Amino acid sequence: MIQRVQSIFLLIVAVAMLAVTFNTIWEQVDPGQTQKMKLTAWSLSTYAIENGQEGALLAEQAVFIIGILAIAAAALALYSLFQYKNRTRQMFLNMINSLLMGITLGVVVYQTYQANADINPNAQGAFVIGFWAIVVAIICNVISNRFIRRDELLVKSVDRIR
């Protein structure tokens, strides 16, 4: 049944991972307030700062791996959502999804570390909504796995009574 509580958490996982693809993940401004770096799921961009606002695009580096991993994690969460008849498979898919989201988080941290070394090694950048969406997705995935496990144990205990 799709109306179970773990289905809500799996839907939140899918929405959060799709939010990663549309939002900024990390931002950093250089010490002279002349350049700003932005990491999204698709690119690492450097902008000039003019009058306190983002100005012209100075450089852009493609980072497709974050977007691809985020879309794969969202698709896997949606696929897992509809595997409610086979709870063991659903738990396995969620385990794989946790690994996928962990890899996504690792790639984000690596990219921000590398970019931070270029622009301002003395200060950390600011993680924004895209980063926190990954964290929310991982937490919701763990919670959904706990509810699936509880359902599986309940079904096994009822079968034992019969």
Q: Give the mean model confidence (pLDDT) for residues 131-152.
A: 93
Q: What pLDDT sits at residue 144? A: 94
Q: Whole-prediction pTM value?
A: 0.88
Q: Give the mean model confidence (pLDDT) for residues 102-123.
A: 88
Q: What pLDDT sits at residue 2? A: 63
141 touches 94 (CB < 8 A): yes
Tokens 């003395």 correspond to 122
Residue 145 has pLDDT above 60, yes or no: yes
Q: What is the mean pLDDT of the chain?
A: 89
In what helix (H) or strand (E) does residue 149 lie, and over which residues does it extend?
helix 129-161
Residue 37 has pLDDT above 80, yes or no: yes
Tens-digit pLDDT profile for residues 78-99: 999 998 888 889 999 999 999 9
Residue 143 has pLDDT above 60, yes or no: yes
Q: How far is CA 146 from CA 89, 97, 153, in A?
A: 14, 14, 11
Higher-confidence position of 48 and 65: 65
Q: How far apart are CA 42 and CA 27, in angstroms?
A: 14
Query: What contacts 33, CB < 8 A, 6 or more positions away?
Result: 49
> Nearest-CA neighbor of 42 among 72, 71, 62?
62
Q: What percent of the chain has pLDDT over 90?
A: 58
106 touches 66 (CB < 8 A): no
**Residue 50, number of CB atoms within 10 A of its CB:** 10
